[in-house]
Amino acid sequence: MDEMILEKEALRLPARERALLADSLLASLDDEATRKIEADWVSEADSRLEGYRKGDVSASDGPGVLRSLKDKYGK
């Protein structure tokens, strides 16, 4: 029951304060597995950026990709 009260109070905070609270809560869950996953994603992002800069990978804008998917799958 206390969780519900805490959640309601947190949701009353302004967006910026909720974001700071969420960041703080997520950081408190930080463990070795999370750090490994984050490091892997950083490595993947670096690899993709390098591929893009070399011309090996092309880029598409987000709204265009979403339109294409909606056209293809009808949703």
Domain residue ranges in the chain? 2-57
Looking at residue 1, its pLDDT comes to 62
Looking at residue 32, its pLDDT comes to 87
More confident residue, 33 or 42: 42
Residue 74 backbone phi and psi in degrees, to 5: 70, 25
pTM, to two decimals: 0.50
- Give percent of the chain above pLDDT 70: 97
Separation between Cα atoms, residue 5 and residue 39, nearest integer Å:
35
Separation between Cα atoms, residue 42 and residue 35, nearest integer Å:
10
User: Which of these, 57, 32, 34, lies nearest to 46 by C-alpha position?
Assistant: 57
